[in-house]
Amino acid sequence: MRQHQLVNAAFGGPQLYVNGEFIGGCDITREMHQSGELMALFDKEGIA
């Protein structure tokens, strides 16, 4: 089963993991969303 997880770290802010792999924190995730990279990653990993 493919999964994604958004973790709220105590001192580092939210962190995104996809299938157990760290993708990035809030700033990186936001930049990936704005550029379309995040949806491309979700498509590649089969996450709807």
Q: Give the predicted TM-score (pTM) of the model.
A: 0.72
List, in sequence order, every residue forming a beta bridge with 6; answer none if it has no partner: 16
Spatial CA neighbour of 27 closest among 37, 19, 15: 15
Type of residue found at 21? E
In angstroms, rounded to a whole number, what is the distance separating the alpha carbons of residues 35 and 19? 21
The domain locations on the chain are 4-45
Spatial CA neighbour of 45 closest among 29, 27, 21, 15: 21
Write down the CATH number for the domain with range 4-45.
3.40.30.10
pLDDT tens sequence for the chain (48 residues): 456 666 665 666 788 989 889 999 889 999 999 999 999 999 999 987
Spatial CA neighbour of 40 closest among 18, 21, 25, 20: 18
Q: Is 1 helix (H, G, I), strand (E, B) or coil?
A: coil
